[in-house]
Chain A
């Protein structure tokens, strides 16, 4: 018998392996065949003494960042930023990730976990400042702030620039399969196009999703008007039937494997995807889009403020900022790192558009009022749980009737049994 089982296992195993070998899907650049030169990056910092102050003190900091948002050395020749930091300063980094600003907010608000560095987006920073969730930074400990481009200093979300240091910035656009879709057809409404039903991905966070609907309907992406929000939610509900899935970083996998053909996402990730898969392209719709800035902050209640400020300073080192931007693809606000970039990247038409274009066609999020936030949250939850099939209307009564009938049946059975047992 055992032999039979073993034979069955082995055969099904081999069958699976055989089936997997049939190939006809998307071609992917095989990294092993790359004949590109592998440059090994090295790190040199200006002020070594500053960094080695805490060595051997056994300090560790908790860094909470977006997924796929740091150079982690998994590609040949790139730096592992966290490892380099530890090597230089002796401070250990506990690195965990979140998928959306709202998740970050929930984790912080819940009060349990303590983090030393977080990297929220613009509107979330202004919300956190309003709710006293951040500590003011001591810029004497962050001399490398001098490298940040002037246009990013004293931003709208942090007017006196007391709480944040910019990390990356970028725009939102649409990633698409070049072989099947023509670039000229693309504007935000293509995400509702039934021709591509079930091949469309969508943002899994309320602000980004609502923004797209709002642009399509001609509203401001920072609208607080209840009617406009409701109409945007309606538009998103309409979209549900063509959406394959609501995702954030899962998009890397799905676009890469050819599961989906169109998805809105951030420019930096689009660049990473396009590097890996030749068939993908990226376009910023003409009707306007969102410009975002992600910045490093220290939450209130952090116990390692100085070490955290050291980390922020480290991220602003020209070499590190350069490693970050080349690895994750997002645009850097660091002038020294920008100077180190190839012209090819500076002129790629996506990452570093001129300021005039940006101010005309892009809008930055700002934090909405509490009522608007709550309403958006409710509408979002409602939209995600909506179903357009009306079959469920009769399920509840049917269910109740079955329960009641079964209970009565049992009670009757028991009664009869008890009567019989008297003898």
Chain B
């Protein structure tokens, strides 16, 4: 009984700083400036549906690209010898430790009309392409920043697949390709779902990537929220409303993702 009390400070902290702020968001979303209940702001969010759609769409594309790129990388890593594996993992994870803003900023310089990438194209004779300030640049930024977050869960699940199982499969007559599809893929599914979650959620709510690489004309949900609080359209009630809708969307997606997991791996609900 006494032992439980040791967690009391945290419980109090948690209530004040996790639960209450969320209640505040709901409060701001459902009241107007004078504290009167109103549904105006939440219903106003509907007029920004195109932005929501665009954010979900771009985040989904980025997540799928990350998955496609990361899966072979994780698999290749597991095939290496132990010592090399940890070194290679470190090498792959290192960019993640660099400051997020600096990495995005680096792409800003690379993708400009006079940037390095266009220069390389120029050497082969291809004209300068408009790469910066497009939706493509935003997706590229998302993929670049969140790729390590997809590689890590995939790797940690794949590394637990015992080599014996793979050997058994080939003993039973599976070609290596079939082994991949019938054995590795299903076993790595938990890693896939957790990787998808770790990439999709930040991708859908980023505002830095869309601001730096999107040129300000490709607003995403994150930009919208930021504008309402610290940006050019001060309206905290609307901002709270948008945040609330965003949370609900993510909750829905998490629930769907959780259906893929076994019962004891359930994170929420």
Binding site for B on A (CB under 8 A): 1-2, 5, 16, 19-20, 22, 25-26, 100, 102-103, 105-107, 109-110, 198-199, 204-206, 240, 243-247, 254, 257-259, 377-378, 380-382, 384-387, 392, 395-396, 399, 403, 406-407, 410-411
Interface positions of B (Cβ within 8 A of A): 47-51, 53-54, 56-57, 84, 87-88, 91, 112-114, 116, 119-120, 123, 130, 132-133, 215-217, 219, 224, 227, 229-236, 256, 259-260
User: Which of A16, A105, A106, A385 is close to B224, meaning CB atoms less than 8 Å apart?
Assistant: A385
By Cβ-Cβ distance, the 9 closest A-B pairs, closest first, are A246-B216, A245-B215, A106-B234, A102-B232, A385-B219, A377-B233, A410-B259, A245-B133, A385-B51
Interface of chain A: mostly helix, strand, loop or mixed: helix
A407 lies within 8 A of B53 (CB) = no
Q: A109-B234, A257-B114, A381-B233 are in contact. Are A387 and B50 (CB under 8 A)?
A: yes
In the bound assembly, the distance between CA atoms of A173 and B82 in angstroms comes to 64
Residue pairs across A and B with Cβ atoms less than 8 A apart, 26 shown, are: A1-B87, A5-B87, A26-B114, A100-B232, A103-B230, A103-B231, A110-B230, A198-B130, A199-B113, A206-B233, A243-B217, A245-B215, A259-B132, A377-B235, A381-B233, A384-B217, A385-B48, A385-B51, A385-B219, A387-B50, A392-B50, A392-B54, A396-B49, A396-B53, A410-B259, A411-B259
Please indicate the chain A residues that have their CB under 8 angstroms from the CB of B234 in the complex.
Answer: 102, 105-106, 109-110
Given contacts A245-B216, A385-B219, contact A407 B130 (CB under 8 A): no
A254 to B: closest C-beta gap in Å = 8
**In the docked arrangement, what's the CA distance between A249 and B84, Å?**
47
Question: B259 — nearest CB in chain A belongs to which residue?
Answer: A410
- CB-CB < 8 A to A396: which residues of B? 49, 53
Inter-chain contacts of B230 with A (CB < 8 A): 103, 106-107, 110
The CA-CA distance from A244 to B233 in the complex, in Å, is 22
Further contacts, 14 of them, CB under 8 A, given A240-B217, A392-B57, A410-B260: A1-B84, A5-B91, A106-B229, A206-B233, A245-B216, A246-B215, A254-B112, A258-B113, A380-B233, A384-B216, A384-B217, A392-B50, A396-B49, A410-B259
Q: Which residue from chain B places its CB closest to the CB of A201 in the assembled complex? A: B215
**Distance in angstroms between the alpha carbons of A104 and B217 in the assembled complex:** 22
- B88: chain A residues within 8 A (beta carbon): 5
What are the residues of chain A within 8 A of B217 when measuring CB–CB?
240, 243, 245-246, 384
Partner of A381, one of B112, B116, B133, B227: B227
Give chain A residues whose Cβ lies under 8 Å from the Cβ of B91.
Answer: 5
B50 pairs with A244, CB closer than 8 A: no
Residues of A within 8 A of B216 (CB): 204, 245-247, 384
In angstroms, Cα B234 to Cα A100, docked, is 12
CB closest chain-B residue, reference A245: B215
Residues of B within 8 A of A247 (CB): 216
